[in-house]
Amino acid sequence: MAFPKIGNLAPAFTLADQSGKPVSLKDFREQANVLLYFYPRAMTPGCTVQACSLRDAQAELKALDTVVLGVSPDPVARLQKFIDKESLNFTLLSDEDHAVAEKYGCWGLKKFMGRESMGILRTSFIIDKDGRLRHIIDKVKTKTHHEVAIDWIRNNL
């Protein structure tokens, strides 16, 4: 599976957010840059570290005209629990059939503790206000992900 091409329009999608409301990528066109990040599962250790770092960086992201959308295969109810538990201040989207993850090339074979399974490959996409894919972060470290994303946005958008 391949990532979408940098410079092209980012693949369009509409997914349900944590409250079941539909959210489309095009909703942010001309209004904000989008940090679209795919994570394996709500309320797991690495995903919690990553989400809380983004929560704590909201002021910086807002100053850079950037909204965060987190996407996982979790059902809507689990997303709301994750937001409540960690006081998250950005939108989480449910991609239960992983169709959007597949469009973005981040659904694939994972190896964990000697076992192989299909799942989300932790990846982030930076999309500009014109809806164009500008950058892909595919070697994500959960503790520093927010810093890498903010630095790139600050220096390139």
Residues of the chain above pLDDT 90, percent: 94
CATH superfamily entry for domain 14-156: Glutaredoxin (3.40.30.10)
Q: Copy the structure tokens of residue 19.
A: 């409250």
Q: Which residue bears the tokens 């992201």? A: 61
Q: Which residue bears the tokens 């958008």? A: 157
Q: Report pLDDT digits (tens) over 73-111.
A: 999 999 999 999 999 999 999 999 999 999 999 999 988
Strand partners, 124: 37, 137
Residue-level pLDDT at 111: 83
Residues of the chain above pLDDT 70, percent: 99
Residue-level pLDDT at 114: 87
Nearest to 96, CA basis, from 127, 113, 61, 120: 120
E strands, 58-114, are 66-72, 91-94, 107-112
Residue-level pLDDT at 1: 66
The domain limits of the chain are 14-156
Element spanning 49, H or E? helix 45-56
Whether 113 shows a pLDDT value over 90: the answer reads no
Show which residues are catalytic. Answer: 47
With contact defined as beta carbons under 8 Å apart, do 38 and 10 qualify?
no
β pairing state of 14-17 and 22-24: antiparallel
d(CA 37, CA 124): 4
